[in-house]
């Protein structure tokens, strides 16, 4: 009995140490972005010049920057906008989606590795039911939260604290962010093409109006999903 108590105590201490490391990581990540030269590269001109120097490897480097940026709490919308502005609507969509998937996976792994034990120790009977439900319905839960635009980075880390299976998290994220990512990159990429061409008459083109329509429609997606879910 005493040995069991000692093991529980050791496990609790390990969980506390891990969560303190997680807290320290979050604080350091925010500080690195806020108070180092990294902040100066978070615009299309500077990041574009940085990627141009990489030549053929620019897309791969951007995807890596996106993934690391997500783990450093750089807003996903900012990184997505930069990807669209630099690479255009279609290639930008592909590189952003891949980078977002790697970033989401990395943040999930950090949350799961450093925070899950501590979170589990705090869960009571009522919260345990929710935790078990997320484990059983992981794909549907993640897909729904992605479709209603739940904040990207907090969800990446937060899901790591739950019992959701990584497979369900990965596929739910991959499918859930496709629509929003495409709409946003298509909108930014289209405006970038018009700006680069200098032909402002193209602002009245079908492609621009279509991108504006998609962008406006994206704000209604959460309401539509919630309404459908409520009817079910």
Q: What is the pLDDT of residues 7-65, one digit of tens each?
A: 556 677 888 888 899 889 989 988 988 888 888 888 888 998 989 988 999 999 999 99
Better-predicted residue by pLDDT, 177 or 220: 177
Q: What is the pLDDT of residues 181-206, one digit of tens each?
A: 988 888 888 888 777 666 666 666 66
Better-predicted residue by pLDDT, 190 or 126: 190
92 CB burial (10 A radius; 0-12, 13-18, 19+): buried
Question: Of all residues in the chain, what percent carry a pLDDT higher than 70?
Answer: 80
55 is written with which tokens? 């030549």
For range 143-163, the mean pLDDT: 89
Reported as half-sphere exposure (CB side, CA atoms, 13 A), residue 41 has a value of 17
Question: Of all residues in the chain, what percent carry a pLDDT higher than 90?
Answer: 33
- The Cα 11–Cα 201 span in angstroms is 66
Enumerate residues 6+ apart whose C-beta is below 8 A from 188: 80, 81, 84, 85, 89, 92
From 20-24, 84-88, 170-174, 198-202, the region with the lowest mean pLDDT: 198-202
Better-predicted residue by pLDDT, 218 or 62: 62
């Amino acid at each position: 009995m005493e040995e069991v108590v000692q093991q529980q105590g050791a496990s609790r201490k390990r969980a506390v140490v891990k969560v303190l490391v997680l807290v320290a990581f979050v604080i350091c990540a925010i500080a690195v972005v806020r108070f180092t030269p990294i902040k100066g590269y978070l615009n299309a001109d500077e990041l574009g010049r940085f990627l141009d120097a990489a030549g053929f490897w620019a897309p791969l480097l951007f995807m890596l920057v996106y993934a690391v940026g997500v783990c450093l709490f750089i807003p996903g919308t900012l990184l997505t906008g930069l990807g669209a502005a630099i690479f255009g609507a279609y290639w930008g969509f592909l590189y952003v989606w891949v980078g977002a998937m790697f970033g989401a996976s990395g943040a999930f792994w950090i949350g799961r590795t450093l925070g899950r034990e501590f979170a589990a120790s705090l869960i009571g009977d009522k919260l345990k039911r929710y935790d078990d439900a997320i484990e059983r319905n992981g794909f549907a839960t993640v897909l729904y939260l992605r479709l209603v635009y739940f904040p990207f980075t907090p969800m990446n880390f937060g899901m790591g604290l739950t019992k959701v299976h990584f497979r369900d998290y990965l596929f739910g994220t991959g499918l859930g962010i496709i629509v929003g990512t495409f709409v946003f990159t298509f909108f930014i990429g289209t405006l970038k093409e018009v700006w680069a061409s200098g032909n402002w008459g193209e602002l009245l083109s079908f492609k621009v109006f279509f991108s504006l329509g998609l962008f406006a429609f994206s704000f209604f997606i959460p309401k539509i999903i919630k309404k459908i879910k409520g009817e079910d």
